[in-house]
Amino acid sequence: MARHLITSALPYINGIKHLGTLIGSQLPADLYARYQRGRGHEVLFLCATDEHGTPAELAAAKTGEPVADYCARMHKVQADLARGFRLSFDHFGRSSSPQNRRLTQHLAGKLYESGLIEEVTEKQVYSNADGRFLPDRYIEGTCPNCGYDKARGDQCENCTKQLDPTDLIDPRSAISGSTDLEVRETKHLFLRQSNMRNQLNAWIDSKEDWPILTTSIARKWLNDGDGLQDRGITRDLDWGIPVKRGDEPWPGMEGKVFYVWFDAPIEYIACAAEWAEAHSLDDSAWERWWRTKKGASDVRYTQFMGKDNVPFHTLSFPATLIGSGEDWKLVDFIKSFNYLNYDGGQFSTSQGRGVFMDRALEILPSDYWRWWLLSHAPESSDAEFTWDNFQQSVNKDLADVLGNFVSRVTKFCRSKFGEAVPDGGEMGARERALIDDITDRVRAYEGHMEAMEVRKAAQALRAIWVEGNEYLQEAAPWATYKEAPEQAAAQIRLALNLIRLYAVLSSPFIPDASASMLKAMQTSDDAWPDDVANALAHLPAGHGFMVPEVLFNKITDDQRDEWQAQFSGVQD
């Protein structure tokens, strides 16, 4: 039994996330976690809300809440939505947790002892209109690298180049829009990443199985221009983790907090500590996942994230862990994703454009969304959600292929043999060929899942569903029954076992439908089909079943048009 540590990029606390954010990290991570659990492996699947920084302060100010209260409320909102989408986190933590505070301060102290943190007097942008230093993310301007006119002060979302606020052309406050900015001196701590460039290069070069998207972004940040730059890890803010060296004060850093991008990835580790505490376990329970000298050397650690998060996870976070000189587990594989766009444009919270997680669950169950998002995951390039494509995928894949098979088989059996697996007859050449074909397809499906090829895995799963429908059409038990009812019984017995097999194989993608199929087959046995032939004889003659409710309703043209107008963002 292997051990899999799985993390997805932390969703930011300020607001409900759209479908693009969901498919960019959390949903494919859940797919992989469910698959590995299904194969019998030990899994620890972690995520948390990312709660520090100016966006949280501003969002709280808009609602009139203290920022801590706002974050607590929004954590519950996001946790509830995660459950609604059946995200199977072992723990959904918070970056504001006491565990993350202690660990962040501890690692900062270790980095200081290693000579990898230095105090720098730097010039930062101060907004006279706002009466404050502006965090990098709240300075906007034109990117000097690509010319994008809405680049942020820490990174250009268009070209992903790492920036400093003073690099921007025509900068303005993202809070007030004011251009009345001036540069003032302030002291901050910098992580001396540049000292670790060779180590990070060698580490990334060793990851020959990483996706090209991941390694290309990492190498671009490492080697373009002046190469890897030292990064400030503190900010002039009220909300965040106070700057300390372990338990000791940090002279000259009073009133400052750690930069959100320093403490947020550390929450992956702290989240495991939160999980252990929530289950009344001691430190050894989480350390066996994160400390190589305490068992984590046997762990396979996989991270899931959107491409904009790659630089911090391939450079800054590894630099923190390596630079500490301690035995922390480093990531083994980073699965990164491109962007999902919405119907010819982008998702927009301010314009009400696109489908957000809460509204999605109001109109359709989670399996509909899970299937479309995963089967259209933006792996090799950006993808686009359109209502036409969504309707076609739901209707053809879920309703016509899978749902129709389950309905036809169970209803026919009930009408001719009753609500039990029929006895009699033997498998012929057609049935043996089907088992061989299904076996080959299951092994291909497993290969794609192991490689985290999400779209290919979805295609392979659908092909397995199609095999059942094609067999049903060729065998035609409704015709066979007239001349050879025992042969029809054998055909239907195999088809009923296919339903159970589909439930097991489909569980990572569509867990609710999977549970419905298992319930209909009156079994809780969801063992993975290592031997497909045995799996297709799992339900014996006489085993009871029920005809389930319709697994998937088709989306009508009227519904499609209504939803397209509803989520277009067009105002009256």
Looking at this protein, which amino acid is placed at residue 5? L
User: Quick one: 298 exposed, middle or buried, by C-beta within 10 A (0-12, 13-18, 19+)?
Assistant: exposed
- Residue matched to tokens 């607590």: 72
* Rg of the chain in Å (alpha carbons): 27
The pair of three-digit structure tokens given for residue 350, joined into one six-digit string:
């301010």
Q: How far apart are alpha carbons 256 and 466 in whole angstroms? A: 59
Residue (of 178, 237, 224, 160) closest to 197 by Cα position = 224
Instruction: Give the whole-angstrom CA distance, residue 518 versus residue 499.
Output: 8
User: Residue 89 pairs with which residues in a beta bridge?
Assistant: none
Q: Which residues pair with 299 in a beta bridge?
A: 3
Residues ≥6 apart with Cβ < 8 Å to 464: 438, 441, 442, 445, 502, 505
User: CA 384 to CA 376: how far, in whole Å?
Assistant: 8
* Alpha carbon 482 to chain centroid, angstroms: 51
HSE of 310, CA atoms in CB hemisphere, 13 A: 29
The DSSP call for residue 96 is T
230 three-state secondary structure: coil
Integer Cα distance of 358 and 336 in angstroms: 24
Q: Which two tokens stand for residue 97?
A: 């947790």
* Residue whose structure tokens are 């904009």: 308
Residue 156 annotated as binding site: yes
User: Annotation-wise, does 71 bind a ligand?
Assistant: no
DSSP string covering 152-198? ESSB-TTT--B--GGG-EEEEETTT----EEEEEEEEEEE-GGGGHH
What secondary structure letter does DSSP report for 353?
B
Note the Cα 510 to chain centre separation in Å.
15
Cα–Cα nearest to 499, from 480, 474, 516, 478:
516
Rounded CA separation 405/347 (Å)? 36
The tokens describing 50, both together, are 């990312």
> Which structure tokens are listed for 439?
């076996």
Tokens found for residue 456:
């290919």
Angle, vertex CA 507, rays to CA 506 and CA 513, nearest 5: 85
Is 146 known as a binding-site position? Answer: yes
SS3 labels along 39-71: CCCEEEEEEEEECCCHHHHHHHHHHCCCHHHHH
Check residue 242 and report its DSSP letter.
B
* Residue 159 known to bind ligand: yes
- Identify whether the C-beta of residue 465 lies closer than 8 Å to the C-beta of residue 489: no
CA distance 230 to 72: 33
Annotated binding site for ATP: 349
Annotated binding site for Zn(2+): 143, 146, 156, 159
Annotated binding site: 143, 146, 156, 159, 349
